[in-house]
A and B are shown apart, each in its own frame.
Chain A
Amino acid sequence: MDLPRVLSLQNILSLLFFLLPASALTTGIYMIFSTKPEMATQEIQPNETLTNLKAESDTLKTKLEDERAKLHDVELHQVAEKVDGLGQFIMKTRRTLKGHGNKVLCMDWCKDKRRIVSSSQDGKVIVWDAFTTNKEHAVTMPCTWVMACAYAPSGCAVACGGLDNKCSVYPLSLDKNENLAAKKKSVAMHTNYLSACSFTNSDMQILTSSGDGTCALWDVESGQLLQSFHGHAADVLCLDLAPSETGNTFVSGGCDKKANVWDMRSGQCIQSFETHESDINSVRYYPSGDAFASGSDDATCRLYDLRADREVAIYSKESIIFGASSVDFSLSGRLLFGGYNDYTINVWDVLKGTRVSILFGHENRVSTLRLSPDGTAFCSGSWDHTLRVRDRGYHLGYIPKRTTLSG
C-alpha cells in the first residue's frame, strides 16, 4: 500500500481501517467519506471497502456453517430407522378442473375445504367449488401472468396479482349482475412483478413477495404499507406464514438461493439458509412450525430445521432433472408433495428421505400444489390449463383395520 505524501485526517483513518476490524470503523468511515466532497485520492477506497466487506461477510458465513455443523450429531434418516417404511402409494385423480384458457400459475384453498381460487397467464382468476367442479366466480385482471392468488380466511374475498406489480383484493359478491372488478381494491404496490401473496390470520392484512427483491406487509382497508422486508439480493419468489403460537414469523425464498425467516413486527431477518444451488421456487412450513421445506430449480427439495438452524434433509433422485416449482406437507408432516417442471408430482417420505410415489397426468409443468385445509386431498395446477384434485387410491377413503398402508 502506498503511503500518501500528506497524512491528512482521511488518510490516517484509512490506515486505521486496514489495521482494525473492519466493521467497527466501517460505519464511521463510510459516513466521513460520504460527507467529504473531494475524494481525488480516495478513488480506490470505496472499492476496497466493498471487497473487504464482502470478504468479511464470506468469512463469517463459513464460520456460521462450522458452528451449525458442530451440533449436527445425527442424520434424519438415521433417526428414522426405527419407523416403518411406507411402501409405494397410489394416488388417484378425483376431480379435473377445466376452464382456464391458458397456463394455470397459482391456486389456493378456501377454509371450507372444498373451494379453490386459481389464476392463470391470460389474467383470469376463477373461484371454483372443486367438489362439484362448478365455477362460482370469474374475474379478468388487467394484466397477464397472474402469478399469485390467495383466498381470504373468511372465504369472502380473494387477492391476486402478477405483472401489474400490484396485489388487489376482490370481495366475492353473489349478485350475478355485479361485476366483481368494480369492487376491486388495490392493496400492495411493488416496483416489479408480484410473485406470491398470502392473507395473515385475518382478512385485514396481506403479506406479499415481489420480483423487486422485497417482501411487504399491508393493511387491506387502507392499502398502507405496515412493514417491508429487505435482505434478498434478487427476486423473491415465494413465502409462507409460520403456524406458530406467537404467529409472528414467515419464511421467504428467492433467486439468490436463500431462504430467509423474518420477524413480521420488526422487519428483521432472523434466520437465513443458503444451501440450494439455484432459485428457490417454493417454501412451506412443517405443520408444527419447527421446520420448513423448500423446492428449487436445482431439482431438489430440502428440509430446514429452525431450532437446529440448518438443513437436515435433501429429497432428490438422479432421475429427477427438472426443478421443483411447488411443495406442501400432508397434515401429519410425514409426506412432502412436490410439483415439478417435468410435469410430474413426486411424493416423499419426509422422515426416511425416500420417494413413495410419482404421479403423471399433467401435460406441462406443474406450477402450483397445495393440500386442502383438512388434508383430505391435494390440488395441483399446471401449464396444461388444468387443475387436478387427487388423493389416495383406496376405496371410499378409509383403510379397514386389517390391510396395510401400501396400495
Chain B
Amino acid sequence: MTINTLTKGGAQREQMYCLRKMERVIVAMQDPDMGMKMRNQRLLITVIPHAMTGNDVIEWLIQKYNITEEEARHLGGLLVQYGYIYPLREPRSLLLRSDDSPYRFQTPYFWTSSRWPATELDYAIYLAKKNIRKQGELVDYEKENYSILHKRINHTWDFVVMQAREQLRASKQRRKADRIVLECQEQAYWLINKPCPGAFDVLDLGPERCNVLSSRVALNADHYRREIEHSRRALGRNRVKSSICLESFMKYSEQYLHHDPIMSGCLPSNPWISDDTSHWTINTDMVGIPTRLRVERWSFSFMELLNDSMGRREFMIYLEKEFSAENLCFWVACEDLRHGESSKIILKVEEVYKNFLAPGAARWVNIDSKTMERTLEGIKRPHRFIMDDAQMHIYFLMKKDSYPRYLKSELYKNMLAKAIVPQETKKSVFPFMRRQRHSSPSPAMVTQATEDDGKAKGAGPTGTSSTTNSQI
C-alpha cells in the first residue's frame, strides 16, 4: 500500500473539492463590483499595480461572510498558504499579515488545482534559473533536489538549461514591477509544491482513497441488483412525519439539559477545570448514596435505568419483592450470550435453557407460546442471536409493566429523597494555585487485582480497590 499524494483519482479529488471552493472565494474577491478595491502598492521604490494589503483582505472577508476578525485572519491565512494570494514583501514566508503588507492574487496559471502535480521538468527549469541568476541563491534542500534532478533527467539537461536561459533573458526585458511580480508568483508556487522538508506541507493528504468513479468494488450487475432490491424495500418502509420526529429532538435536549455538563455545568465542579475529581468519585458504581441527577435520569427511559449498574441493582431489588426477578436475570444472561466469546455460546445457551426455559426451571420466564416454540426449536442449532426474540419479549414486558411500577414505588421514591445534591465548590482563595492532580487506578490494574485474588467473577472493574498504587 503506497502513500502517494500525487496519484490521480482519490487524493486529488479530495483536495479538488476545497480548492474549487477557495477559487470561488478568490473570484468573488476580484469581482469588479463587490470585490476588493485594489490599488498600486509601493514595494521599496517600485510601484506594483493591482495589489492589496493584508488588512484589505481581512476586511473584505469580514464584510462578505459576516465573521469575526479572528476567523477572517484564519481564512485569509489559508488562502495564502494554498498559494491563491502571495506576499510581495518577504515572499518566502506564506503568511497573511494584518497590516499594510502588500499582497497580490496568484495568476490562474499557477493555481494549485491547475498545475498539480508539479512536473519534474518545470522544477528543474526553475532551479536552473535560480542557479544561473545568482550563484548560491539555492537553499540547501533546493541544491539537493537540483543534483538529484540533474542525475535523473540528464538526457534533457541541455533543454533545461536552454529554457532557463531563455526565460531569464525574456524577463530582463520586462519592467521591474512585472519582473518582481513574476518572480514572486513562481516562488510562491514552488514553495507550496516543493516545500522545505520538515516544513508545513499543505498538499500532504494522507493515504490514497478511492471514490465511486475509480471504485474498489465492482459496479457490476450484482451491485445494481442489490441496490434495486434495497430501494424496493425502502419504498415499502413506514415513515414518520417530520413534525413528529423533530419534536422529539426538542424534548430530548430539554430533558437532558441539566445532565449535559457543557450546557449546564456539573456539580460540585467540572474536574477538568477545578482539578478536583469529586464529580467522578460521587458518581461511581459503588457509591453509597447516589446524586439526585443520577436517580432522576433513571426515570427518563428504561434503557437509562438498565445502563446504570446501580439502577440495575435497585431494579433487581424491586423485582425480587415482586417475585419477577427472573425476568431481569434472563435478560442479563441473554446479553452475556450475545456479547460474549463465540467459544462459549453453546455452553451459555445450555445454561440459559436450564435456568430459564426448561419446564420446571428454577427461574422460569413467562414467554408467549409462539416465541417459546421458536426459541426451543432454535436451541437445537444454537448461535449467538438465538435468544433475541425471547429476550426482546421479556425486555418489553419489563419496560411496559415492571418499570413504570418501579418508578411509582416507595423504593424509588426513597432513593430520590435521600439522593444528594452536591455543593458547588467555593472559589479558591488563591485562584492561581493549581491543585495537585491525583492519579487514579487504571481499570486494567483493578481487574488484574481481582483476578489475582482468584475471584474472576463478572465483567468490568469493581470500582476503587484497596490496592491504590499511584501510577507512573
Contact = CB atoms under 8 A, between A and B. Distances in A.
Interface of A: 23, 26-27, 30, 46, 49-50, 53-54, 56-57, 60-61, 63-64, 67-68, 71-76, 79-80, 82-83, 92, 94-95, 110-115, 129, 131-132, 134-136, 144-145, 147, 153-157, 163, 165, 171-174, 192-193, 200-205, 211-213, 219-222, 224, 226, 230-235, 237, 243, 245-247, 255-257, 265, 269, 271-272, 277-279, 286-288, 290-291, 297-299, 305, 307-310, 312, 317-319, 321-323, 330-335, 341-344, 350-351, 358, 360, 364, 374-378, 383, 389, 391-392, 394-400, 405
Contacts of B22: 321
A71 B263 contact: no
A323 B16 CA distance: 11
Nearest to B445: A174
B341 A331 contact: no
A129 B440 contact: yes
B339 A278 contact: no
Interface stretch (B155-163, B174-182, B229-237, B313-321): B229-237
Given A351-B253, A375-B260, A134 B472 contact: yes
26 contacts: A23-B225, A27-B225, A46-B221, A72-B242, A76-B249, A129-B439, A155-B443, A156-B444, A173-B444, A222-B342, A305-B242, A305-B245, A307-B240, A307-B244, A312-B245, A322-B78, A323-B18, A330-B263, A331-B261, A334-B260, A344-B74, A358-B68, A376-B262, A376-B279, A397-B266, A398-B267
A231 B266 CA distance: 43
Given A255-B212, A309-B239, A290 B245 contact: yes
B228 A56 contact: yes
Interface string B1-30: 101000000100010011001100100000
Contacts of B119: none
Contact of A131 (B232, B253, B277): B277
Contacts of A201: 335, 338-339
B296 to A, nearest CB: 14
Contacts of A60: 227-228, 231-232, 235
B228 A297 contact: no
B239 A147 contact: no
User: Chain A interface mostly helix, strand, loop or mixed?
Assistant: loop
A321 B342 contact: no
Contacts of B260: 330-332, 334-335, 375
A358 B71 contact: yes
B83 to A, nearest CB: 15
B262 A392 contact: yes
Contact of B248 (A219, A288, A374): A288
Nearest to A223: B342
B262 A400 contact: no
Given A213-B216, A398-B270, 9 more contacts: A163-B1, A202-B459, A231-B230, A265-B385, A305-B245, A305-B246, A392-B262, A396-B424, A399-B264
A83 B250 CA distance: 8
A73 B242 CA distance: 6
A22 to B, nearest CB: 8
B272 A64 contact: no
Given A155-B444, A256-B211, A342-B78, A265 B388 contact: yes
A67 B235 contact: yes
Interface residues of B, number: 115
Contacts of A155: 442-444, 447, 461
A318 B65 contact: yes
B217 A321 contact: no
Given A212-B216, A255-B212, A405-B263, A79 B247 contact: yes
Contacts of A377: 261, 270, 272
Contacts of A375: 259-262
Contact of A211 (B3, B209, B427): B209
A56 B229 CA distance: 11
User: Chain B interface mostly helix, strand, loop or mixed?
Assistant: helix
B272 A398 contact: no
Given A23-B225, A74-B246, A211-B210, A204 B341 contact: yes
B52 to A, nearest CB: 19
Nearest to A83: B250
Contact of A233 (B25, B74, B219, B244): B219
B442 A115 contact: yes
A147 B257 contact: no
A219 B341 contact: yes
B234 A299 contact: no
A132 B275 CA distance: 9
Nearest to B219: A233
Contact of A53 (B206, B228, B283): B228
A376 B275 CA distance: 12
Q: Which 6 residue pairs are nearest across A and B when measured between Cβ atoms?
A: A397-B270, A155-B443, A398-B265, A332-B256, A60-B231, A332-B260
Contacts of B230: 231, 269, 272
A50 B75 CA distance: 45
B225 A256 contact: no
B457 interface: no
Interface in B372-411: 384-385, 388, 392, 395
B68 to A, nearest CB: 8
A342 B254 CA distance: 32
B437 interface: yes
Contact of B272 (A257, A351, A376): A376
Nearest to B342: A219
B347 interface: no
A351 B250 contact: yes
A10 B371 CA distance: 48
Given A64-B234, A134-B471, A219-B341, A53 B242 contact: no
Contacts of A334: 253, 257, 260, 263
B231 A57 contact: yes
Given A64-B231, A235-B209, A399-B264, A279 B14 contact: yes
Nearest to B460: A154
B269 interface: yes
A157 B225 CA distance: 41
B192 to A, nearest CB: 15
A205 to B, nearest CB: 6
Nearest to A82: B250
Given A204-B341, A331-B256, A67 B239 contact: yes
Contacts of A344: 74
B271 interface: yes
Contacts of A54: 224
B245 A307 contact: yes
B368 interface: no
A53 to B, nearest CB: 4
A215 B363 CA distance: 39
Contacts of A278: 14, 17
Interface in B410-424: 424
Given A211-B210, A255-B212, A265-B385, A136 B253 contact: no
A305 B364 CA distance: 39
A349 to B, nearest CB: 10
Interface string B54-77: 000000010001011011001100
Contacts of B471: 129, 132, 134, 136
Contacts of B235: 60, 63-64, 67
A9 B239 CA distance: 44
A49 B225 CA distance: 11
Contacts of B65: 317-319
B302 A174 contact: no
Nearest to B234: A64
B234 A272 contact: yes
A235 B269 contact: no
Contacts of A237: 209
Nearest to B431: A395
Contacts of A391: 261-262, 270, 272-273
A307 B234 contact: no
